[in-house]
Amino acid sequence: MLKNKTAIVTGAGQGIGKGIAVALAKEGCNIVVSDINQETCDQTFAEITKLGVQSIAVKCDVSKKTEVNNLSKVVAEKFNKIDILVNNAGIFPFVPFAKMTEADWDKVLNINLKSMFLTSQAISLNMPEGGKIVNISSVASFIGFEGLVHYCASKSGVNGLVRALALELAPRKINVNAVAPGAIETPGAKSDEKTKQQTLMMIPQKRMGKPEDIANTVVFLASDKSDYITGQVIVVDGGWTLR
């Protein structure tokens, strides 16, 4: 289904990003593992190379245009074209609104939203007809969370970016969609048992999501089975936002 296609996954060093990179590799994709952390980037790269596909690891701060341009250049030299871009890199530091600084706000908006503008612009220039851009949004784009005003704003912005960019790239037959995860068990989302149980009470399916749950949805959106879907945000949350 995706054999011999090439995909870039940002924030692929751990958690959801790593799960997406591995899932795409299992489908036959060549993978560009991108992360701001070189060590975790290399670890994911090592795991993917065992799956028999071509892969490279590129350290990149996706909130910086110079580094994104370098990522695009390196990938173009190695693979000639990029079929799939998965914008996964993101952070969610809890800060009470009254204590939130301009630096706090800028950091989250730059990494979570500006990065998707930069990567999508740079990579889409080298994307053939039938290309796919998949952005990782969040249920926080639909519901509010205390201490995450900047994060909720950034993810709401992702949804708007997806709809507008889908219109602009439709003439080139490039699809743009998003996946909005709910509560997913990842290294960056650890919580105490009490908080976990409170979260589970909100989820109709009574379980936390796994990186594979998000990865499977991304694989679908990256495949030709989603050719007639663009500008959409698919919520993957076990039913949390239905309440």
Q: Which residues are catalytic?
A: 151
Which amino acid makes up residue 92?
F
Query: Which amino acid type is present at position 240?
Result: W
CB 186 within 8 A of CB 14: yes
Using CA atoms, how far apart are residues 113 and 164, in angstroms rounded to an integer? 14
Are 134 and 84 in contact by the 8 Å Cβ rule? The answer is yes
CA distance 103 to 110: 10
Q: How far apart are CA 137 and CA 141, in angstroms?
A: 7
What is each CA distance from 175 to 28, 48, 127, 189, in whole angstroms? 20, 25, 11, 30
